[in-house]
Amino acid sequence: MGRKPRLHIEGGLYHILTRGNNCEEIFRDDHDYSTFQETLLKLKGKTGFKLYAYCLMPNHFHLFMEVKSTSTSEIMQRLLTSYSKYYNKRYKKTGHLFQGRYKSIICEKDSYLLELVRYIHLNPYRAGLVKKPVDWEWNGHKEYIGQKRMGLIDKMEVLEIFSNNLKQAITGYSEFVRDGTQMRGGKEYYPEEKSPYLGDDKFIEDLMVRHINIMENKVPEKKICIKVTLKEIADRAAKKFSVSVEGICSRTRNRRITQARKVFIKEAINYGYKGIEVSTFLNCTQGYVTRINNKSNK
């Protein structure tokens, strides 16, 4: 059975969570963190989403965004592909950097905007990485309090909840975050493991109806996803043409390796893998994967 389509709502508020494959590190040093920030900033400029909070942690990251016409699926595909290519090239790695499908929760704005901003920005503090929230460089907290100016955070809508006076608003926000460091449980937001929605009963019911309508109108997928890893598929293709998996993942134009690569792409797509997953494994563009797959189907 194919994966359910993501529900795209123009103006929808999404909490996105993505982890490293096998919970391994995705940021090793400051250069990695800053490269991801720059990639996110460029993508934000091109797609126009609002970013209310974000937090980059050693083995995962959070984004809290309000999208426009460009869906979270497209945004995340471009973001993860770009950063994966950078990371794999820098550290001479192949294969998946990120673990499976990213987690996406559609949130009711009125009830959860403030709670989620605080929850996300307190992640490093709660993980024991810093003694104070302001000590973590790789999230949006410093932009809110005026200690950093990257242009990543759309902060005014949040700050205006506290006051129309900017100085007083920053003070109110800072106190709100500080209060979160003292909380033990309570009403603060913690995402349920399998819930794709966060809001009151009416909000959730409306989203479920919309999602069901999409599923009923969706053309059934022809491909069936079977639990065979990309590495296993690559091993078979390599063995068939007496080449190495490293060769398949390289950019060499050796005839035998090229043939093995084509077979790998075709089989991976037939097993239900998405183009972005295959291109990330090969450290190539998604357009190349699509072009090869289209040729093989003619």
Domain ranges of the chain: 13-217, 230-296
What mean pLDDT is predicted for residues 15-29? Answer: 94
Residue scoring higher pLDDT (244 or 213): 244
Instruction: Estimate the crossing angle of helix 30-47 against helix 72-91, to 10 degrees.
Output: 150
Three-class DSSP category at 271? coil
Residue scoring higher pLDDT (140 or 3): 140
Q: What is the DSSP letter of 49?
A: -
Task: Examine the pLDDT at 58 and tell me if it is beyond 50.
Answer: yes
Region of 251 please: left (phi>0), alpha (psi -120 to 50) or beta.
Answer: alpha
Which spans in the chain are helix H? 30-47, 72-91, 109-121, 123-126, 141-144, 156-162, 166-181, 201-217, 230-241, 245-248, 255-270, 275-282, 286-296
Considering the chain, what percentage of its residues have pLDDT values greater than 90? Answer: 55
Nearest CA to 35 among 85, 71, 103? 85
Residue 185: band (very low, low, confident or very high) from pLDDT cuts 50, 70, 90: very low
Task: Examine the pLDDT at 284 and tell me if it is beyond 90.
Answer: no
Residue 218: band (very low, low, confident or very high) from pLDDT cuts 50, 70, 90: low
Superfamily of 13-217 according to CATH: Transposase IS200-like (3.30.70.1290)
| 8 Å CB contact between 120 and 177 | no
Three-class DSSP category at 147? coil
pLDDT tens track for 114-170: 999 999 999 999 999 999 999 999 999 999 999 999 999 999 999 999 998 999 999
Predicted confidence at residue 55, as pLDDT, reads 98
Task: Enter the pTM of the model.
Answer: 0.69
Lowest mean pLDDT among 47-56, 152-161, 237-246, 268-277: 268-277
pLDDT tens track for 137-153: 999 999 999 999 999 99
In the predicted model, what is the mean pLDDT of the chain? 86
- In whole angstroms, what is the distance from residue 162 CA to residue 142 CA? 17
Three-class DSSP category at 99? coil
| 8 Å CB contact between 101 and 16 | no
Predicted confidence at residue 215, as pLDDT, reads 60
- In whole angstroms, what is the distance from residue 195 CA to residue 188 CA? 16
- In whole angstroms, what is the distance from residue 259 CA to residue 275 CA? 18
Nearest CA to 140 among 54, 57, 220, 76? 54
Residue scoring higher pLDDT (11 or 287): 11
Other C-beta atoms within 10 Å of 191: how many? 16
Lowest mean pLDDT among 100-114, 180-194, 283-297: 180-194
- In whole angstroms, what is the distance from residue 188 CA to residue 12 CA? 21
